[in-house]
A and B are shown apart, each in its own frame.
Chain A
Amino acid sequence: MSASAVIAHPVFSIGLTVACYAGALELHRRRRWIPTIVVACLPIVVLLLLVHEPYAIYNRGGNFLTWWLGPATVALAVPMYRNGLALRSSLPRLALIVFIAATVGMLTAGGTAWLLGAPRTIILSAVPKSVTTPIAIEVCRQLGGIPQITIAMVILAGVLGASFGPFLLGLVGVRENRAV
């Protein structure tokens, strides 16, 4: 069997992805600052480049994993349900904050890209980046953006938020844990 036939087999690419993910998790456990997603992707990209296979071949199996983002989005209802019970008293105010912040996020992300003359697909990929990743992907698809770009932005936003969020909020005097 040729190398391309092996890589084109969905079972191979799924297995490869799971193995790289497992390795990345292990590394992340030892060195907290290493982002799992980046480490999991690198060996796959390197392998594809080495054997000169296009992404589309790998993605025959990859697609299967991406599909499960749908059920994973549905599963987000569980933490919502659990936290909802704890936060019920301040729910209307929290909902208002989330609504305003989400609007600000979409307008500033799309607006900045638009002002800088980015093409339509980039603007549409930027708009949903402030929400949790699986939902951002779905919204991006519906708007007609490029999910890959949205995911890159969500990852970077997550890294930014986790590294500088508390510090910046502290600068403006916000000490409310729930704000983060």
Chain B
Amino acid sequence: MFELVRGLAIVVAIFLSGNWLHAHGVPIPGGVLGLLLFYGAMLTGVLKLRWVERAAALLLRHMVLLFVPLTVGLMDMGGILSRQAFAILASLLVSFLAVLLTTGLLARWLLHPGPENSEGNAQGAQ
């Protein structure tokens, strides 16, 4: 329990620092700034992975819960959604295909077509 609270406190403090920097002129969203700060702090050893491991695992495992209120908010957008449904779906589909093909083909050309690598794990966490 202590470990979890300590981890959450660290993560929240980093997020708030990111927000503060963003409010003072850094043109990157606070959360993303915090992500970079956190990554840097772990690479340089300022923060130890084990201090935050459990808190981070909790936040990431149940991230879907955090999306629920925004998704419920779609109920207020029936109007704009139905008026723009075609543009939204078309944009989604075109971009999906373009990204998939670009990534796939680039990966094939750049990551040497040699023996199949079966333990690749650079998952694009949705």
Contact = CB atoms under 8 A, between A and B. Distances in A.
Given A100-B106, A108-B98, A17 B68 contact: yes
- Chain B interface residue number, banded: 35 or more
B35 to A, nearest CB: 5
B14 to A, nearest CB: 5
Interface in B49-101: 49, 52-53, 55-57, 59-60, 62-77, 80-81, 84, 86-101
B124 A18 contact: no
A33 interface: no
- Chain A interface residue number, banded: 35 or more
A50 interface: no
A61 B110 CA distance: 47
A11 interface: no
Contacts of B94: 108-109, 112
Contact of B107 (A73, A153, A165, A174): A174
B125 A76 contact: yes
B103 A132 contact: no
Interface string B102-117: 1111111011000011
A74 B38 contact: yes
26 contacts: A37-B67, A41-B74, A59-B73, A66-B70, A71-B8, A71-B12, A72-B59, A78-B56, A79-B125, A81-B43, A94-B111, A108-B98, A113-B90, A122-B80, A133-B126, A134-B31, A148-B74, A169-B100, A172-B101, A174-B104, A174-B105, A175-B108, A176-B104, A176-B108, A178-B120, A179-B108
Interface string A147-161: 111011111111011
Given A77-B39, A168-B97, A71 B15 contact: yes
A179 B110 contact: no
